[in-house]
Chains A and B, each alone.
Chain A
Amino acid sequence: GEKVEQHESTLSVREGDSAVINCTYTDTASSYFPWYKQEAGKSLHFVIDIRSNVDRKQSQRLIVLLDKKAKRFSLHITATQPEDSAIYFCAASMDTNTGKLTFGDGTVLTVKP
């Protein structure tokens, strides 16, 4: 089955800098790649997603890049703010069932003021 590896287990940046979290996946059939944010003690909150028919998507300060050949996707948070501090999870699924997600292990992002 699909395996998603999230490369950074922890990431610390200064406020205003960019943060980049990288993920790789194994199943070429995966075509939907969402990102979720989890704050301490809370559930997962959808952040942004990208589908395999594009290689870049931006929503305000968030940019997602997808490299299908390398089976790699990344989340870029620009102009980071302390409230961006949380655990970020990348995930992958297939078009046939976008809700059945395979998650990475999570990246603890700390944005220092």
Chain B
Amino acid sequence: DAAVTQKPRYLIKMKGQEAEMKCIPEKGHTAVFWYQQKQSKELKFLIYFQNQQPLDQIDMVKERFSAVCPSSSLCSLGIRTCEAEDSALYLCSSSRDRGRSTEVFFGKGTRLTVV
């Protein structure tokens, strides 16, 4: 079973609504990543947190998403105004640190549908 917990598993929003999904990384992990996956295709990197600080993110996230990791035990990814193209599986992953150590664990994901 995934050591990374994501909630909710499913989320349905109308266009224009706000969406929020949460991730609890594995205990002791300081690096947290969010990915977007559409239709079981490649995973697209969205944002990376190290020790609760966002260190890397793509432009789309800067413009339309909100993401925080206020504690090492809970992170969230939000979409301010949902669009149809945001429908996807959002996967959170964590690792012990960002260096050589480490295996990366993924959560089960939040499947967002924008109608």
Contacts and interface: CB of A to CB of B under 8 A. Distances in A.
Interface of A: 32, 34, 36, 38, 42-46, 49, 51, 87, 89, 95-106
A21 B76 CA distance: 34
Nearest to A6: B42
Interface of B: 2, 31, 33, 35, 40-43, 45, 48, 56, 91, 93-95, 98-109
Contacts of A42: 108
Q: Lowest 3 A-B CB distances belong to which pairs?
A: A99-B95, A97-B98, A44-B106
B41 A99 contact: no
Nearest to A49: B103
Contacts of B56: 97, 100
Nearest to A87: B40
